[in-house]
Amino acid sequence: MKKTFTEREIKDNLLFLKQLAKTFPTVEYAMTEIVNLSSILALPKPTEHFMSDLHGQGDAFEHILNNASGVIRNEIERLFANTLTYDEREALATVVYYPKQKIALELKDIDDHDAWYRYTLRNLITLGRKISSKYTRSKLRKSLDPSYAYIIEELLTARSNFHDLDAYYDEIFDSIIRHEYAERVIVALTDAIKKLSVDRLHIVGDIYDRGTEPHRIIDLLLQHSSVDIQWGNHDILWMGAALGEKTCISGVLTNSFRHNNLDLIENVYGINLRHLLMFAQSTYKNALAFRPRKTSHEDYYNDQEVNIRAKLHKAIFVIMHKLEGQLILRNPNYGLNHRLFLDTIDRVNSTITIDGITYPIKDADFPTINPDNPYELTEEEEAIINELQYSFLHSPRLQKHIKFFIDKGSLYLVSNNNLLYHALVPLNNDGSFKAVDFGDGIARSGKAMFDYIDSEVKRLYFADPDDRKVNELDLMWYLWCGPDSPFFGKDKMTTFERVEIDDSKSHKEKRNAYYKYQDTKELAIRILNEFGITDTDRAVIVNGHIPVEKINGENPIKAEGNLIVIDGGFSKYYQKTTGIAGYTLVYDCRGLYIVAHEPFISLEKAIQENMDIHSTTEVENILATKGQVRVADSDKGVELREEIEQLEMLVAAYEMGFIKENHAYRMVKVPLNK
């Protein structure tokens, strides 16, 4: 129903309406745009995908990005089940995922290249028409490579009742092949299919650590047209390091050496480790306990590379715990005094006392720890961490990647009535929101806490490096491992214990009360309300952080459907715990559902043997949706209705004579081939 406006409303908005009139200078222009926007409201809601805890698993992430979490394969099955064999459908899917590599492989074994091009183009057009059907032509056009936009748009939007459509297609195909454009058009077409299969991608934290290729994941995300990130605890550690916080720098290196990711540090991000390496080799004669994960005693003694990495790990491990001790002493309000234990190391008896319990330790050879001042760096350690700080601050690729986290990221996001954050909202034992003072003298809880942290991280990023105060940067380390951090959610991080102590009792980390109440609908609704979401019948909280142990029967859906944990073990490190290789939460016009992925074998097998990641829809339509979800039901629908109302007000201003139409401008219909 068209809204009516009073003269007062027109006058109050006249300045804005005059600016709007520069874009829509006549009633005709404005009405055309109103009709256009209204038609978009009736379209099916575009597809959103939610993923979390990618942990550097670049190969699997690229494949899932290419297959749209199984969406493309499912469409191929629906469209070609009766016309193509299983092998032909699998080969077509691989062409979509890896067009250049698959084309080279296919053409190597056949004589009639032209026939293969025609066959493949025709199938891709059928697939592309189906996937693009929920979008306007304008949206479709924007997704296309400009060099081939006209050709592909014409192929995808040709009228189904076009006279002799097959002959029309054949003429276009012949022209493409004759001018040796077939491969380039296929690549551009498959790129458009992948872009249109997933309109928006939400990464709910933890791109970094564990796996070797977080940089590859970020580079792929940089190319995505619509992506957002909710920072995870591993991301915030890297962000702190990129800001120059020394404890975070030592933490990043400790994790990287422990997981054998030296190449990421040196060759990807160009961090200079020369001084640290020389110091480690000259200072530590034995570092067996610090060897990288999944290496053996024999590897340490027989493989020089393993030996070097173990000593690097030990050297930075000691520096990290010294720096952490200094940070704890600077910030008594952080409540981390229980992590001050370097002074309890008994080098003679090889023991340490933590939380009042004395444990044997594997390695007590710490010549740089002064018993009288255990948290003081030696002069050489101080020089090393200063050099490392310079390298992190001046790594172009790292700074580019962290800027992406700032530009596209936040601590939380409310999107289409859903609340996204990586880990938790800190709670007291009774389930109430916990108020925490992060150093400015004000205790905040719930949304106020999240907003404060989000703004502080961004303020620190945009500050001049010389103006970043040490005690302000300390916040980044606390967010990584502090007991009341909304990124962490445990009473302590037992890094030292897991490396040095065999007794697994020392490894235990008590979770925040959030995880006690996580499966209750009452908590989920309170959190949704806290973040401004009142329509809780069709709203969910999306979490990552704690892997879902599906292998043990754990359900990712909590709180009667109002909370979903989507950490399904994307990283190989967690797959024995979860029993799967990750989840994707899909929200499209049908509703909200979870897709579980099997492990990715290899890029080579994916291309040569058409080995896709098998993905299974675990749960259908979590939200209580009635009928098809349309653009009108989304955040975009709210924006469009606001734009329509503004245009209707402009039309009213024209009709009431407050603004004169500019008929010097005439609407020009541009021919399709221009």
Residue type, 439: G
The total number of residues shown for the chain amounts to 674
Predicted pLDDT of residue 674:
34
At residue 658 the predicted structure's pLDDT band, cuts being 50, 70 and 90, is: very high
Predicted pLDDT of residue 618:
67
Predicted pLDDT of residue 632:
94
At residue 665 the predicted structure's pLDDT band, cuts being 50, 70 and 90, is: low
Read off the tokens for 2. 């068209």
Residue 230 phi, psi dihedral angles, 5° rounding? -105, 115
**Per-residue pLDDT tens digits for 131-155:** 998 888 888 888 888 888 888 888 8
Question: Torsion-angle region of residue 23: left (phi > 0), alpha (psi -120 to 50) or beta?
Answer: alpha
Averaged pLDDT, 540-554: 92
Residue type, 443: A
pLDDT at 159 over 80: no
At residue 584 the predicted structure's pLDDT band, cuts being 50, 70 and 90, is: very high
Alpha helix ranges (H) inside 133-200: 137-142, 149-157, 165-178, 182-197
Q: How far apart are the C-alpha atoms of 35 and 530, rounded to whole Å?
A: 37
Predicted pLDDT of residue 607:
87
**Per-residue pLDDT tens digits for 602-652:** 888 888 888 888 787 766 667 655 578 899 999 999 999 999 999 999 999
**Per-residue pLDDT tens digits for 56-91:** 999 999 999 999 999 999 999 999 999 999 999 999
With a pLDDT cut of 70, the percent of the chain lying above it is: 96
Averaged pLDDT, 644-669: 86
**In this structure, how many other beta carbons lie within 10 angstroms of the beta carbon of residue 153?**
18
Predicted pLDDT of residue 458:
98
Read off the tokens for 321. 């715990």
Predicted pLDDT of residue 124:
95
Q: If you search the block for the tokens 């004669």, which residue do you land on? A: 285
Averaged pLDDT, 284-288: 95
At residue 448 the predicted structure's pLDDT band, cuts being 50, 70 and 90, is: very high
Q: How far apart are the C-alpha atoms of 447 and 439, rounded to whole Å?
A: 18
At residue 671 the predicted structure's pLDDT band, cuts being 50, 70 and 90, is: very low
- Across all residues in the chain, what is the average pLDDT? 92
Averaged pLDDT, 226-238: 97
**Per-residue pLDDT tens digits for 371-389:** 999 999 999 999 999 999 9
pLDDT at 129 over 60: yes
pLDDT at 2 over 80: no
At residue 571 the predicted structure's pLDDT band, cuts being 50, 70 and 90, is: confident
Q: How far apart are the C-alpha atoms of 663 and 26, rounded to whole Å?
A: 7
At residue 525 the predicted structure's pLDDT band, cuts being 50, 70 and 90, is: very high
Nearest by Cα to 528 from 564, 480, 556? 564
Predicted pLDDT of residue 580:
87
Predicted pLDDT of residue 628:
83
Instruction: Determine the number of helices (DSSP H) and then strands (DSSP E) in the chain.
Output: 29, 16
Predicted pLDDT of residue 162:
56
* 3-state secondary structure (DSSP) of residue 244: coil
Name beta bridge partners: 436: 444
pLDDT at 443 over 50: yes
**Per-residue pLDDT tens digits for 16-45:** 999 999 999 999 999 999 999 999 999 999
Predicted pLDDT of residue 626:
58
Predicted pLDDT of residue 332:
93
**Per-residue pLDDT tens digits for 465-512:** 999 999 999 999 999 999 999 999 999 999 999 999 999 999 999 999
List, in order, residues 6 or more apart from 336 with CB less than 8 Å away: 328, 478, 482, 483
220, 65 contact by CB (below 8 A): yes
